[in-house]
Amino acid sequence: MRIGVVTFPGSLDDHDAARAVRIAGGEAVALWHADADLHGVDAVVLPGGFSYGDYLRCGAIARFAPVMGTLVDAANGGLPVLGICNGFQVLCESHLLPGALVRNDSLHFVCRDQRLRIESTDTAWTSAYEIGQEIVVPLKNGEGGYVADEATLDLLEGDGRVVARYLEVNPNGSRRDIAGISNARGNVVGLMPHPEHAVEPLTGPSTDGLRFFTSILKGLVEA
Amino acid sequence: MARVVIDVMLKPEILDPQGKAVEGALGRLGLAGVASVRQGKSFALELEGEVDDARLAKINELAGSLLSNPVIEDYVIREVTA
Amino acid sequence: MARVVIDVMLKPEILDPQGKAVEGALGRLGLAGVASVRQGKSFALELEGEVDDARLAKINELAGSLLSNPVIEDYVIREVTA
Amino acid sequence: MTRHIDTVADATAYPEREQPYTELGLKADEYARIREILGRRPTSAELAMYSVMWSEHCSYKSSKVHLRQFGDKKPETDALLVGIGENAGVVDIGQGWAVTFKVESHNHPSYVEPYQGAATGVGGIVRDIISMGARPVAVMDPLRFGAADHPDTHRVLPGVVAGIGGYGNCLGLPNIGGEVVFDPCYQGNPLVNALCVGTLRHEDIHLASAKGVGNLVVLYGAKTGGDGIGGASILASETFDEGGPTKRPAVQVGDPFMEKLLIECTLEVLHAGLVEGIQDLGAAGISCATSELASNGEGGMHVRLDSVPLRDATLTPEEILMSESQERMAAVVTPEKIDAFLEICRKWDVTADVIGEVTDTGRLVIEWHGEVIVDVPPRTVAHDGPVYHRPYARPSWQDALQADDPGLLARPVTAAELRDTVLTLVGSPNLASKTWVTAQYDRYVQGNTVLAQPEDAGVIRVDEESGLGVAISTDCNGRFAKLDPYAGAQLALAEAYRNVAATGAAPLAVTNCLNFGSPEDPDVMWQFERAVTGLADGCLELGIPVTGGNVSFYNQTGDVAIHPTPVVGVLGVIDDVARRTPMAFRAIGDVVLVLGETREELAGSEWAHVVHGHLGGLPPKVDLAAERALGEVLVAAARGSLVTAAHDVSDGGIAQVLVEMALREGVGATVRVPAGLDPFVFLVGESTARAVVTADPARAATLEALATQHGVPVARIGVVTGPGDDLQVDLVVGDSVAWTLAELRATADATLPALFG
Ligand SMILES: Nc1ncnc2c1ncn2[C@@H]1O[C@H](COP(=O)(O)OP(=O)(O)O)[C@@H](O)[C@H]1O
Ligand SMILES: [Mg+2]
């Protein structure tokens, strides 16, 4: 299974995402922002980082990269896409996911080991978890507060599209403690915390993040 | 050289933690009676040539897509000077 | 309710990486002839009561210390409305 | 209006024009020497170059004579691939891998504009690392501020922390450690030091030299603006007809996104084999880069300064030469490879321009629109600057300070008082949890962080296959250095060494950042000389060479200097990071042991500082042989899996160590004070060469045998009880103190958030 990992200027966690794909048993394929071709990958990860320095708004400039034009069409056609942190911001800016991510309510960048509850296993990226499973993965963001209007939030809740929720501490002021959401079809998932930093016991607080990557590989094999 | 200034503000219903922080600080530093503070962004563009209707339309389009995120922000073009 | 709007901009000689990033993006998205973009901040204050001279002096003081860092930024009070 | 450019021809034709050398910081004899070197007066562009390159900051004119000791007393070692004198030293860590690391100060800019000052400090040190051909893999930030509750600290600290985080996080460099120290002596002079470490294969080492006549000099990265060139405006005002200095910012603004592109672009051109020599642009900008490259290479260079891309078209040539605009690099490239080089720059959207070529004329010649404005022997600019033998003498107050022993200070007597004293220390700003700071730093990015703050040292995996890794710690106790600068420098070294060993890594090399007051004050110069000598002697005794460093003078307000603060960074190697030793109590039933000897040593301690505001006496005894033996035990124990946790003893003593080991994972312990030791001295004394470790009961005897074999005193002092249990200390039979982990955590966690929000 070939999982593409996009590098934008300023992407930082692209190598980590590729490593997580490999540890899960997949083949990581590097995709370049300026190349509109997805090179036949079976799924795509938009990694964390500060694309274009995040100078305007996180993800605002990356959204217009050539690769995104192709990716938006492919995602609308069902291609599995996982956006982590900056990748989540790019997905919202691209309108593949509703809502937006705003400055943390603390006004500080925050890096912490975050407890989450998996709220939906009906997505391409969470099928290997159990509903209600609690996991600990790193979280690191300056603009990670998830906002959307009440109707959108109700819709997300009602349709089971809240994928993960913060437990114990809401680190950034996200509405309804939302840490991740999916599109209606479940192929596109955006997540503020970083599962790719929790795939090896030596370098992460746990290996709880690995199942995001085994989920997609299992799903692709079964499909 | 033409000049265009665009202001971008968070929509009123979106929480503005930076504005809130400034509000608190202004009060502590002795400015009484501050009811609210909202922090916004502005973009001052220097453009070669004229800003005709077509160009203004393009600027409006980009102000509403690139410079602001309509989900959370509003924009106004505050100034257009030749 | 009075309203005061303060604009804060980086001094012209100071590097503005944010403005530069926007400049590049505007060009790529089809707005030709952009010579430069500077990004600034604005603060819209809602104040109870009147803005008399004493209060305006205080606002000026805080605009030049809290809201901006005079080493790298300039500010202007763009609007004062009763 | 057009401005008259002062050319070499003018300098010859009008030899007696007055020049503002004093305003530029040059002494009359220095100016005279420049005239002698050139055989004429310098042009204003030449004067600009000499003045910045001969400044204290760039020339080390006051420190050079003392820093030589690091070379003269260098221990025998095979590990040093590149030594002092390059942008950063390079150390062999085995398996074909090397690391380069260095610490630098950005103290003064960070006081003026905390966010940008700190941010550009990180940016500068990172460029030193990439210019060696290494990929930066981590940063650290030793910081010192005035009193924690002083209003100005409230201005400076949050900005500095946000700036370090803002820049480092955006670059994708994990922050794996540092220091946060408060002391009123730093009130007007906060210290912002930044360390970066990079990794490379042996064959990828690159040096700053312009080799190969006809090769091209490329400037790439950000455009040049008017940043940090206060001095140049003086020149401009002297030569401008309308008079009045132009206002230029002394503050530089960083663009971490540009720096990230610069890292990727630089590593790509290096790995593609397109570069003959490379140099970062930091202090003194183009003046430094061109003169150093030329001086280290064929000896000559021809530069067309008008080819430098500008952010501000009104800059004068003097200003361009002096500009400290960030995020710029210079490379020497052969004509055959220039297209490939520029192509990679385009890929990364990095501006790149050929500004000159290498010559063998022995002259650095710089043209401005066809006129020669600089024609100098580059060595005289870059390397043969002035050297001062500044007077130094033991301060008149030093004896009185050392005589003021803390022996008479009131100590806690009852168990209840001792309990309170420990809580007071746990919540004091220097010992309290630094999470408020470190949570603003990304410690996970790159996925190779094995240990990070609050562990003793940061540990980074270098090779994913073999598990080869490095550990780094930076330390300095300025109070100790004030009491005795020679011992203080060695104590800083010993502490960093011990921290690295505690994680299981074998110490290998040293960097330093020497923060002092004014070198023109003989008291300060004495402190400096003593500290350098102490550090050089200490490194020789420990067998680890100094690979580079930085000097920051003039950290003083009026006549009052900061405590001498020689920050020392030690780097160690660990063959397999899976064997690293973390600091947390973990397994129920593990034996708690203390390694090393406890003496009554309270001078300069955190207790004397916090409880009595006292500083006097002699610092703890330095025993580098004991440090070395302890280090060997800790490293062997990690390799042999004999310890389950280790934590070095320093500020706050053993009480603080036990608290930190318990709070790390929320696991308690019961400990008793060894017979014959005063409980207070045992708990808060700061004797060196000690560590607390835990061991599986089945392996504790082996560990004890190992320690004894190395001559390291070892004592069993207790047992790990379990998650959520108290931390209990039995003082004497029948009398104990206990703290719940909840109260310890609340006390430790509350302090910084309460101060900084
Ligand atoms: N305290 C010190 N100890 C050892 N070497 C030092 C010290 N201070 C400076 N050096 C060395 O002197 C050289 C020049 O230092 P510096 O000007 O900081 O380098 P750069 O030009 O790369 O910024 C470097 O090799 C540096 O490591
Ligand atoms: Mg350098």
D659's CB contacts (< 8 A; 6+ apart) are: D422, D426, D727, D739, D744, D748
Q: Is D117 within 8 Å of D160 (Cβ atoms)?
A: yes
pTM value is 0.94
Whether the per-residue pLDDT at D171 is higher than 50: the answer is yes
CB–CB of C18 and A53 under 8 A? Answer: yes
Mean pLDDT of all residues in D6-18: 90
Binning pLDDT at 50, 70 and 90, where does residue D231 land? low
For D207, D302, D747, the CA distances from D298, given in Å and listed in that order, are 13, 12, 62
Q: According to the model, what pLDDT value does residue D546 have?
A: 95
What does the domain layout of chain A look like in residue ranges?
2-222
Q: Is the pLDDT of residue C67 over 50?
A: yes
- Please confirm whether the linkage preceding D564 is cis (ω < 30° from 0): no
* Contact call for C13 and D247, based on CB within 8 A: yes
Rounded-to-integer distance, Cα D459 and Cα D99, Å: 13
- The answer to whether B21 contacts chain C (CB < 8 Å) is no
Task: Out of C21, C24, C72, name the one closest to residue D116 (CB).
Answer: C72
Q: How does the average pLDDT of chain D come out, rounded?
A: 93
The whole-angstrom separation of Cα D744 and Cα D12 is 74
Predicted confidence at residue D246, as pLDDT, reads: 42
Secondary structure of D28-64 in HEC code, one letter for each residue: HHHHHHHHHHHCCCCCHHHHHHHHHHCCHHHHCCCCH
* Model confidence pLDDT, tens digit, residues A68-82: 999 999 999 999 999
In three-state secondary structure terms, A87 is helix
Look at A55 and C29 and tell me if their CB atoms are within 8 Å.
Answer: no
Provide ipTM, 2 decimals: 0.91
Weakest mean pLDDT among D6-20, D78-92, D245-259: D245-259
pLDDT more than 90, % of chain C: 83
pLDDT recorded at residue B9: 95
Contact D550, D515 (CB under 8 A): no
Among D550, D551, D565, residue to substitute to test ligand 1 (most atoms within 8 Å of Cβ): D550
Element (H, E) at D296: helix D285-296
- Residue B30 region by backbone torsions, left for phi larger than 0, else alpha for psi between -120 and 50, else beta: left
Strands (E), chain B: 2-10, 34-47, 73-81
pLDDT for A49-58, tens place per residue?
999 999 989 9
pLDDT higher than threshold 90 for residue D235: no
Q: Does the pLDDT of residue A178 top 90, yes or no?
A: yes
Residue A4's identity, in one-letter code, is G
Torsional sign, CA D118, D121, D126, D127: positive
Residue D556: the pLDDT is 92
Q: Is residue D125 within 8 Å of D104, Cβ to Cβ?
A: yes
Chain D residue with CA closest to C69: the answer is D113
- Decide if pLDDT at D248 tops 70: no
Q: List the structure tokens of D661.
A: 């080991």
Nearest alpha carbon to residue D514 among D525, D522, D500 = D525
What is the tens place of the pLDDT at every residue in A134-153?
999 999 999 999 999 999 99
| 3-class secondary-structure state, position A120 | coil
- pLDDT (average), residues D695-721: 97
| DSSP 8-state code for residue D310 | B
What is the mean predicted confidence (pLDDT) over D574-595? 97
Residue D526 contacts residue D533 (beta carbons within 8 Å):
no
pLDDT value at position D734? 78
Q: Is the pLDDT of residue D755 over 90?
A: yes
- Scored b (16 or more CB within 10 A) or e, D579-618 reads bbbbbbbbeeebbbbbbbebeebbbbbbbbbbbeebbbbb
pLDDT of residue D250: 66
**Between vectors from CA D445 to CA D568 and to CA D437, what angle results, nearest 5°?**
55
Q: Collect all residues with Cβ–Cβ distance below 8 Å to D746 and sequence separation of at least 6.
A: none
> What is the number of other CB atoms lying within 10 angstroms of the CB of residue D732?
11
Q: What is the pLDDT of residues D522-539, one digit of tens each?
A: 999 999 999 999 999 999
> What domains can be seen in chain D, in order of their start residue?
582-757 (3.90.650.10)
Q: Is C72 an interface residue toward D (CB < 8 Å)?
A: yes
B53-62, Cβ contacts within 8 angstroms, sequence gap of 24 or more:
B55/C31, B56/B80, B58/C30, B58/C31, B59/B4, B59/B6, B59/C31, B62/C26, B62/C29, B62/C31
Helix (H, G, I), strand (E, B) or coil at D218: strand
Closest-CA distance, C5 to chain B, in angstroms, reads 10
Whether residue C17 lies within 8 A of chain A, CB to CB, comes out as: yes
Query: Is the per-residue pLDDT at D244 higher than 70?
Result: no
Query: Is the minimum CB–CB distance between B71 and chain C shorter than 8 Å?
Result: no
Helix residue ranges per DSSP H, D15-141: 28-38, 44-53, 56-59, 64-72, 107-112, 114-130
Rounded to an integer, what distance in angstroms lies between the CA atom of residue D609 and that of residue D627? 25
Give the lowest-confidence range in A2-16, D283-297, D539-553, D657-671: D283-297
Cα(A28)–Cα(A43) distance, integer angstroms? 10
DSSP state of D467: -
pLDDT of residue D611 exceeding 70 = yes
Per cent of chain D over pLDDT 70 is 97
Does residue D249 surpass a pLDDT of 60? no
Q: What is the pLDDT of residues D625-658, one digit of tens each?
A: 999 999 999 999 999 999 999 999 999 999 999 9
Longest CA–CA span in chain A (Å) reads 44
What are A1-50's pLDDT values in tens digits?
Answer: 999 999 999 999 999 999 999 999 999 999 999 999 999 999 999 999 99
- pLDDT tens, D414-434? 999 999 999 999 999 999 999
Fold entry, domain A2-222 = Rossmann fold (3.40.50)
Which residues, given as ranges, of chain B have pLDDT below 70?
A: none
pLDDT of D243 higher than 60:
no
Q: How confident is the model at residue D269 (pLDDT cuts 50, 70, 90)?
A: very high
Which range is least confidently modeled, A101-110, D15-24, D498-507, D598-607?
Answer: D15-24
Residue nearest to atom 21 of ligand 1 (CA): D87
Residue D242 pLDDT > 60, yes or no? no
Buried b (16+ CB within 10 A) or exposed e, D374-410: bbbbbbbbbeebeebebebeeeeebeebeeeebeeee
- Residue minimizing CA distance to atom 10 of ligand 1: D549
- pLDDT of D183 > 80? The answer is yes
Residue-level length of chain B = 82
Nearest CA-CA distance, residue C60 and chain B, Å: 11
Q: Per mean pLDDT, which range of A78-82, A97-101, D296-300, D547-551 is the poorest?
A: D296-300
Distance, first Cα to last Cα, chain A: 11
Neighboring chains of D (3 or more beta-carbon pairs < 8 A): A, C
In angstroms, the CA D746 to CA C20 distance is 45
Closest CA to A83 of A99, A107, A104: A99
Q: What is the pLDDT of residue D245?
A: 37
Q: Which residue from D325, D330, D266 is spatially nearest to D303, judged by alpha carbons?
A: D330
Write out the two tokens for D540.
């020789």
Helix (H) or strand (E) holding C58: helix C53-63
Over 60: is that where the pLDDT of D172 sits?
Answer: yes
Task: Tell me, yes or no, if D271 is annotated catalytic.
Answer: no
The per-residue pLDDT for C12 is 86
Q: Which helix (H) or strand (E) holds D240?
A: none
Sign of CA dihedral D362, D367, D372, D378: negative
Strand duo D80-82 + D90-94: pairing: antiparallel
Residues of C in contact with A55 (CB under 8 A): 17-18, 20-22, 39
Q: Which amino acid is at D631?
A: G
Strand order in the sheet with A188-191: A27-32, A2-7, A43-46, A81-84, A188-191, A178-182, A162-166, A110-118, A134-141
- Residue A164 — pLDDT band, cuts 50, 70, 90? very high
Q: Cβ(D160)–Cβ(D305) under 8 Å? A: no
Question: What DSSP letter does each residue of D689-736 carry, written as one string?
Answer: S-EEEEE-TTTHHHHHHHHHHTT--EEEEEEEEEET--EEEEEETTEE
pLDDT reported for residue C71: 84
CA distance D299 to D311: 30
